[in-house]
Amino acid sequence: MNSLFRLPEASTHAATVDHIFYLLLVLSGATVVLVFGLILLFAVRYRRGSAAKRGPMPEILSREFEIGWTVATLLTFAFLFWWASSADLSSLAAPPGALEIHVVAKQWMWKTQHSNGAREINALHVPLDKPVHLLMSSQDVIHSFFVPAFRVKKDVLPGRDTDLWFQASKTGTFPLLCAEYCGTNHSMMRGKIVVMRQDDYAKWLVQQPEGDDLAHEGARLFVSRGCSGCHAGSSNVHAPRLAGLYGRAVQLADGRTVSADDAYIRDSILQPKRDVVAGFEPIMPSFKGLLDDGEIQSLTAYIRSLREEQQND
C-alpha cells in the first residue's frame, strides 16, 4: 500500500494535513538543530578547564532576553494554532450533495450500506472526486473509522451518530482500520476502501445484489414493527404525524424546543418519555432492545424521506 516512508495522499484533505505536518516538521527540525547545537557547542567550548573566556556575563543575557524568547515562542505557537485550525474549520461540514453512506461498526467488523441499499462487510466502494458523507454508529463499544491514506479518523459511538466526510482523489485500494481499542480482535477489525472512477462506481453499484434502499427498508419496518399503528394518518391514536418532521423545530411538553435531527429521532424511538411533544400524552413504548442500529438508521431514513415527499407535492 505505501512505500517505506511515504503514505499516499488519496483524498483532497490529505494534502492539507500533510502541508501542516511538513511545516511542523521543518519547525521542529530547526528547533532540534538549535537546541542540540547549542548544547553541543557549550558542552565542548565550556568543558571544565577549557580556555574559553568566562568572566562577567554579557549585558545582553538579561530579563529582556528571557521575555524576548517567551514572546517569540508564544507568537510562533499562536501562528501554528491559527494555521492548523483554519485548515480544520474549512473542512468541517460535508458539502451539500455529498453521497451518503451508512456505516455500522460492531465487534469486530465494519458494515457499510450504500444509498441504494447495497451492503458490504469490511469494505467500502466509493467514487473518485465526489464528496462522500459517512453516517456512523456502533452496536457495542467505541470504534474508530480510520483511513490513513485519506488522513481521516472519527470515533464511532454506541447510541449516538457521528459523521465523517472525504473526497477521494486517487483510485486504488486503501486500508480501513479500527483505531479505538475495542476488545479481543481489535487488530483484526480491518477492511478496505476501494476508490473507483465514477462510471465504474455506478456500474459496480448496479451489479450489487438488489437490496432495498434504506428508506424503503425503513418503510417496511415502520409497518412491521407497529409504528404505523399510531403514527399513520389513518390511526385513531393521538400520536404526532411524522411527515415533514425532519429538520423542523419541535415544541416539547416541558417548554423546550428541539430540532428534529437524527439524534432526536433515535432518542424518541429508544427513550420516548424523554422529549415528549407538546400536546401529546407520553404513551409511546420504548423500542430499546427491539431495534438494532441498522434498523434505527433505516427508520430514520424513512422519516427523512417523508419530508422529501411532502416538499415534492
Contacts of other proteins in 25-64 (CB under 8 A) = 27-28, 31-32, 35-36, 38-39, 42-43, 46-49, 52-57, 61
Site string for other proteins, 95-134 (x = CB under 8 A): ------------x---------------------------
- Give least dist CB 288 to other proteins, A: 6
Among 92, 97, 224, 234, binds other proteins (CB under 8 A): 92
Question: Collapsing DSSP states into helix, strand and coil, what is residue 109?
Answer: strand
How far apart CA 132 and CA 238 sit, in angstroms, is 39
Among 188, 206, 223, 237, binds other proteins (CB under 8 A): 188
Question: Collapsing DSSP states into helix, strand and coil, what is residue 75?
Answer: helix
Give the containing element (helix H, strand E) for 156.
Answer: strand 152-156
Determine the Cα angle at 12 with ends 11 and 13, to 5°: 90
Of 220-228, 244-252, 269-277, 297-305, the segment contacting other proteins by CB under 8 A is: 269-277
- Work out whether 16 is an interface residue with other proteins (CB under 8 A): yes
Among 15, 26, 95, 185, binds other proteins (CB under 8 A): 185
- Give least dist CB 164 to other proteins, A: 9
Q: What are phi and psi of 10, to 5 degrees?
A: -105, 10
Site string for other proteins, 209-248 (x = CB under 8 A): ----------------------------------------
Q: Name beta bridge partners: 218.
A: none
- Give least dist CB 93 to other proteins, A: 9
How far apart CA 275 and CA 251 sit, in angstroms, is 9
- Give least dist CB 3 to other proteins, A: 9
Q: Which pairs with CB-CB distance under 8 Å and at least 24 residues apart come from 204-211?
A: 204/125, 205/114, 205/116, 205/118, 205/125, 208/114, 208/116, 208/118, 208/119, 209/118, 210/117, 211/113, 211/116, 211/117, 211/118, 211/119
Residue whose C-alpha is closest to residue 94's, from 187, 164, 191: 164
Q: Name beta bridge partners: 165.
A: 133
Name residues contacting other proteins, limited to 123-182 (CB under 8 A): 140-142, 144, 146, 148-149, 151-155, 157-160, 162, 175, 177-182
Name residues contacting other proteins, limited to 62-91 (CB under 8 A): 66, 69-70, 73-74, 77-78, 80-81, 84-85, 87-89, 91
- Give least dist CB 313 to other proteins, A: 36
Number of residues interacting with other proteins: please give it, by CB under 8 A.
85
Q: Which pairs with CB-CB distance under 8 Å and at least 24 residues apart come from 247-254?
A: 247/307, 250/275, 250/277, 251/277, 251/278, 252/276, 252/277, 252/278, 253/277, 253/278, 253/279, 253/280, 253/282
How far apart CA 167 and CA 150 sit, in angstroms, is 8
- Give least dist CB 207 to other proteins, A: 29
Of 23-31, 97-105, 244-252, 296-304, the segment contacting other proteins by CB under 8 A is: 23-31
- Give least dist CB 39 to other proteins, A: 6
